Structure 1
Amino acid sequence: MGRWEPNARGRLEQAALELYVERGYEQTPVAEITKRAGLTERTFFRHFADKREVLFAGSARLEELCAGAVAAAPGTATPMDAAVAALNAAAGLFEERGDLVRLRQGVIDANAELRERELTKLASLAGALADALRGRDVDDLTARLTAETAIGVLKVAFGRWIDGPGERTLRQLLGECVDALGAAVAHHTR
C-alpha cells in the first residue's frame, strides 16, 4: 500500500461505523476497522487516538463552527439569537452528513460509556458557546444560561430529528423547539 491514502480518515470512519452497527462497538477491534477500510493500524492511529474517537473526532470542529456563528451574529442579536445561529450552523453540518450522523447516534445510544462521552462533549460545546457569548460582552450568568439552554434545545431537536420520519429538517425542528421555549418563557412571565 502506498504512503498516501486518499480519504483515509473518511474510509476509516465509514468502516468503523458499519462495523459498530453490525457487531457492536465493544466487539469491534481496530484491526477489523482497518481491514475493512483497506488501511493499516498505523494509519488509523495517525487519524484517531482510539476507536472511540472515530465517533467524537469532529467535536472540536463543531465547537469552532458554533463559536464562529455566535461571533458572526449581528451586533443587535440577543444572546439567544446568537446561540440559535450557532445551532443552525451545527444543524447544517449534521444535515450534510445525515446518514452517518444517524448511524453514529445509534452506536452511541447502544453503549453507556459512549453516552457518557457524548454528554462530556455536549458540556464542552456549552462551554464554547458561553465563551463565545462572553466575547460579545454578554455577562457570565446570561452567557452560561443561554449556552446551557441552547444545548437543551439542540438535544431535544436532534432527538426528534433522529427518531422522526425524516419529513422535517433539523433546522425546522430547532425552530419549533426555540418557539416552544419562547412560548414557555412568555407564559411564565405573564
Structure 2
Amino acid sequence: MARWQPDAPGRLAAAALDLFEEHGYENTTVIEIAERAGLTKSTFFRYFPDKREVLFDKGTLTGVLVEGITSAPPAAGPLDAVADALDELGRTFFTADRREFSGRRQAVLNANSELREREALKRLDLTASMIEALGRRGVPSLTARVAAELGTLVWEIAYDRWIDTDNSEGFGPLARQALAEVRGAAGVVG
C-alpha cells in the first residue's frame, strides 16, 4: 500500500485488526501495524498514543452522541433526547459499511482483558459526556445520570445486536427497539 493513500487512521485500524486476529493483540507490535498499513512508526504515533488506542474512535462516537442530545427538540424528555442521539449514531457512525469491521473488532476486544478494560473506560466517558450534555439542556443531575446510564445500556444492547452477523437491521431501529425493551423492563422492576 502506498504511503500517499488517504485515511491513514483507517488504514492503521484495519491493519491492526488484521494482525490482532492473526497473531493476537499481545504478539503484535506498532511497527508491524504501521508496515502492514504501508506507513511508518512515526505516522502511527501521529494518530495513536499506543497500539491499544488504534481500535478506539478517538472521541468521534462521543461527539456524535453529545451533538445528538444537544440538537434534540427542546420538548424532548431526557431519554428521548438520548434516543435521538442514538438514531444519529446509526446514521453517521454505525453504518452498514462498518458492521463487519465492528463485529471483528468486538471479537478482538472480547479476547483480550486489556482491551475490554479500555472499552469499559470509554463507556464510562461516554456516559459522563451524555450526563453533561443533558445537564446543559437543563435536566436535573440525578435524572441526567439515570437517562445517560439507561442510554448506555440501550447502546450496548443495540450494538451487540447490530454486530450480529445474522442481523441485517440498522443500528437506529435496533436502538429504538432496545429502548422500548428497557422501558418495559424498568416498569416491571418498578
TM > 0.5 between the two? yes
- Asked if the contact 2:69/2:84 (under 8 Å) is kept, the reply is yes
Deviation of the 1:166 alpha carbon:
2.1
Partner of 2:79: 80
- Asked if the contact 1:63/1:125 (under 8 Å) is kept, the reply is yes
Deviation of the 1:187 alpha carbon:
4.2
Against the structure 1 CA distance between its residues 32 and 138, is the aligned structure 2 distance closer, same or farther, given a 3 Å change threshold?
same
Letter paired with 2:31: A
Partner of 1:98: 99
Deviation of the 1:25 alpha carbon:
0.9
Partner of 1:36: 36
Give the 5 Å matches for 1:56-67.
Answer: 56=56, 58-67=57-66
Is 1:163 the counterpart of 2:172? The answer is no
Letter paired with 1:146: A
Partner of 2:23: 23
Against the structure 1 CA distance between its residues 7 and 185, is the aligned structure 2 distance closer, same or farther, given a 3 Å change threshold?
closer
Deviation of the 1:6 alpha carbon:
2.8
Secondary structure (helix, strand or coil) at the match of 1:35 reads helix
Deviations 1:86-116 (A, max 9, x none): 1222233022422221121111111011111
Alignment RMSD, CA only? Answer: 1.9
- Asked if the contact 1:59/1:121 (under 8 Å) is kept, the reply is no
Deviates more, 1:134-143 or 1:158-167: 158-167
Partner of 1:174: 175
Letter paired with 1:128: S
Unaligned runs of 5+ in 2: none
Partner of 1:126: 127
- Asked if the contact 2:103/2:164 (under 8 Å) is kept, the reply is no
Deviation of the 1:164 alpha carbon:
4.9
Deviates more, 1:137-146 or 1:58-67: 58-67
Deviations 1:3-50 (A, max 9, x none): 855322221111111111111111111111111111111111111111
Deviations 1:122-152 (A, max 9, x none): 0100000000000000000000010011101
Deviations 1:56-76 (A, max 9, x none): 1x1411111111110100011
Partner of 1:8: 8
When the two structures are aligned, how many residues end up with a matched partner?
188
Deviation of the 1:167 alpha carbon:
2.7
Percent identity of the aligned residues?
42
- Asked if the contact 2:34/2:41 (under 8 Å) is kept, the reply is yes
- Asked if the contact 1:70/1:82 (under 8 Å) is kept, the reply is yes
Unaligned runs of 5+ in 1: none
Separation in 1, partners of 2:116, 2:6: 31
Secondary structure (helix, strand or coil) at the match of 2:51 reads coil
Separation in 2, partners of 1:42, 1:164: 36
Partner of 2:110: 109
Secondary structure (helix, strand or coil) at the match of 1:53 reads helix
Separation in 1, partners of 2:9, 2:58: 15
Letter paired with 1:144: R
